[in-house]
Amino acid sequence: MQLFIRGGIELLSLDLENKDITLKDIKEIIAVEYGVETVDDILLSFSGIPLNDDDKQLVTVGLVQGATIDASVKLLGGKIHGQLSRAGKVKSATPKVEKQEDKPKKLTGRAKQRQLYTKRFVNKITTIDGRQCGPNSNQA
Protein backbone atom coordinates (compact mmCIF):
# COMPACT_ATOMS: atom_id res chain seq x y z
CA MET A 1 0.00 0.00 0.00
CA GLN A 2 1.34 3.42 -0.90
CA LEU A 3 0.60 6.39 1.38
CA PHE A 4 1.60 10.02 1.09
CA ILE A 5 2.57 12.15 4.09
CA ARG A 6 2.18 15.92 3.77
CA GLY A 7 4.25 17.32 6.60
CA GLY A 8 6.89 19.76 5.58
CA ILE A 9 7.90 21.37 2.34
CA GLU A 10 8.07 18.10 0.41
CA LEU A 11 5.59 15.25 0.12
CA LEU A 12 6.82 12.00 1.65
CA SER A 13 5.72 8.73 0.04
CA LEU A 14 5.62 5.47 1.99
CA ASP A 15 5.44 2.03 0.40
CA LEU A 16 3.99 -0.30 3.02
CA GLU A 17 3.92 -4.06 2.52
CA ASN A 18 2.30 -5.06 5.79
CA LYS A 19 -1.35 -4.08 6.32
CA ASP A 20 -1.09 -4.60 10.09
CA ILE A 21 0.82 -1.34 10.53
CA THR A 22 -0.62 0.98 13.18
CA LEU A 23 -0.68 4.76 13.35
CA LYS A 24 2.12 4.66 15.93
CA ASP A 25 4.37 2.94 13.37
CA ILE A 26 3.57 5.70 10.87
CA LYS A 27 4.43 8.33 13.50
CA GLU A 28 7.78 6.64 14.15
CA ILE A 29 8.61 6.70 10.43
CA ILE A 30 7.67 10.39 10.25
CA ALA A 31 9.77 11.17 13.36
CA VAL A 32 12.83 9.59 11.72
CA GLU A 33 12.27 11.36 8.37
CA TYR A 34 11.61 14.84 9.77
CA GLY A 35 13.84 14.67 12.85
CA VAL A 36 11.19 15.01 15.56
CA GLU A 37 12.41 14.02 19.05
CA THR A 38 9.26 12.40 20.45
CA VAL A 39 6.51 10.53 18.67
CA ASP A 40 3.88 12.08 20.96
CA ASP A 41 4.49 15.53 19.43
CA ILE A 42 3.29 14.42 16.00
CA LEU A 43 -0.35 14.97 15.07
CA LEU A 44 -1.88 13.08 12.15
CA SER A 45 -5.08 13.89 10.29
CA PHE A 46 -6.80 12.36 7.30
CA SER A 47 -9.36 14.37 5.28
CA GLY A 48 -9.73 16.84 8.15
CA ILE A 49 -10.34 14.21 10.82
CA PRO A 50 -7.64 13.90 13.51
CA LEU A 51 -6.16 10.42 13.93
CA ASN A 52 -5.66 10.29 17.70
CA ASP A 53 -5.74 6.57 18.52
CA ASP A 54 -2.20 5.23 17.94
CA ASP A 55 -3.18 1.58 18.36
CA LYS A 56 -5.57 1.51 15.39
CA GLN A 57 -4.52 -0.11 12.14
CA LEU A 58 -4.54 1.80 8.88
CA VAL A 59 -7.40 -0.21 7.39
CA THR A 60 -9.72 0.43 10.36
CA VAL A 61 -9.10 4.18 10.15
CA GLY A 62 -10.22 4.23 6.52
CA LEU A 63 -6.89 4.79 4.77
CA VAL A 64 -6.81 3.34 1.27
CA GLN A 65 -4.23 3.05 -1.50
CA GLY A 66 -2.84 6.50 -2.39
CA ALA A 67 -4.35 8.35 0.58
CA THR A 68 -2.66 11.51 1.86
CA ILE A 69 -2.11 11.97 5.59
CA ASP A 70 -1.41 15.44 7.00
CA ALA A 71 1.31 15.47 9.66
CA SER A 72 2.00 18.39 11.96
CA VAL A 73 3.84 19.03 15.21
CA LYS A 74 2.27 20.32 18.43
CA LEU A 75 3.05 23.98 19.04
CA LEU A 76 3.51 25.85 22.28
CA GLY A 77 0.99 28.45 23.36
CA GLY A 78 -2.59 28.76 22.33
CA LYS A 79 -5.66 30.38 23.72
CA ILE A 80 -6.52 29.86 27.36
CA HIS A 81 -10.14 28.83 27.62
CA GLY A 82 -12.38 31.75 28.53
CA GLN A 83 -9.65 34.32 29.04
CA LEU A 84 -9.57 36.11 25.70
CA SER A 85 -13.06 35.45 24.43
CA ARG A 86 -14.24 38.94 25.45
CA ALA A 87 -11.07 40.79 24.42
CA GLY A 88 -11.80 44.22 23.01
CA LYS A 89 -15.51 44.17 23.80
CA VAL A 90 -16.88 47.37 25.31
CA LYS A 91 -19.77 45.79 27.22
CA SER A 92 -17.60 44.21 29.89
CA ALA A 93 -15.39 47.31 30.21
CA THR A 94 -18.14 49.82 30.99
CA PRO A 95 -19.18 50.08 34.65
CA LYS A 96 -22.62 48.93 35.68
CA VAL A 97 -25.02 51.81 36.37
CA GLU A 98 -27.95 51.33 38.71
CA LYS A 99 -31.37 51.79 37.22
CA GLN A 100 -32.89 55.18 38.08
CA GLU A 101 -36.42 55.66 39.29
CA ASP A 102 -38.82 56.74 36.58
CA LYS A 103 -40.04 60.33 36.65
CA PRO A 104 -43.79 60.78 36.79
CA LYS A 105 -45.32 61.12 33.35
CA LYS A 106 -46.36 64.55 32.17
CA LEU A 107 -50.06 65.10 31.94
CA THR A 108 -51.71 65.27 28.54
CA GLY A 109 -55.14 66.18 27.23
CA ARG A 110 -57.92 67.14 29.66
CA ALA A 111 -55.77 66.60 32.76
CA LYS A 112 -53.15 69.04 31.47
CA GLN A 113 -55.80 71.66 30.76
CA ARG A 114 -57.18 71.32 34.31
CA GLN A 115 -53.69 71.82 35.70
CA LEU A 116 -53.14 74.93 33.56
CA TYR A 117 -56.51 76.35 34.67
CA THR A 118 -55.57 76.15 38.34
CA LYS A 119 -52.18 77.72 37.64
CA ARG A 120 -53.64 80.64 35.68
CA PHE A 121 -56.87 81.54 37.37
CA VAL A 122 -57.43 79.90 40.75
CA ASN A 123 -54.04 80.53 42.41
CA LYS A 124 -54.46 84.19 43.22
CA ILE A 125 -52.59 85.84 46.05
CA THR A 126 -54.42 88.22 48.38
CA THR A 127 -52.33 91.15 49.50
CA ILE A 128 -52.50 93.04 52.78
CA ASP A 129 -55.00 95.61 51.51
CA GLY A 130 -57.36 92.86 50.25
CA ARG A 131 -56.57 93.04 46.57
CA GLN A 132 -55.87 89.86 44.62
CA CYS A 133 -52.83 89.49 42.39
CA GLY A 134 -51.93 86.81 39.88
CA PRO A 135 -49.56 83.92 40.66
CA ASN A 136 -46.71 85.66 38.84
CA SER A 137 -46.95 88.84 40.86
CA ASN A 138 -44.05 90.07 42.98
CA GLN A 139 -46.23 92.28 45.21
CA ALA A 140 -46.85 89.76 47.96
The CATH number of domain 2-73 is 3.10.20.90: yes
Nearest to 28 by CA among 13, 38, 18, 43: 38
Closest CA to 68 of 1, 6, 26: 6
User: How much is the pTM?
Assistant: 0.51
Q: What is the pLDDT of residues 43-63, one digit of tens each?
A: 888 888 888 877 788 778 778
Q: State how far the Cα of 71 lies from the Cα of 28, in Å rounded to an integer.
A: 12
Beta bridge partners of 126: 132
Let me know if 34 is exposed, middle or buried by CB neighbors in 10 A (0-12, 13-18, 19+): middle
Nearest Cα to 34, choosing from 14, 53, 51, 19? 14
Q: Looking at residue 30, what is its pLDDT?
A: 83
pLDDT tens digits, one per residue of 107-133: 999 999 998 887 777 666 677 777 777
Rounded Cα–Cα distance for residues 43 and 106 (Å): 70
Closest CA to 12 of 71, 88, 100: 71
Decide if pLDDT at 18 tops 70.
Answer: yes
- 47 in the Ramachandran plot: left (φ > 0), alpha (ψ -120 to 50) or beta? left
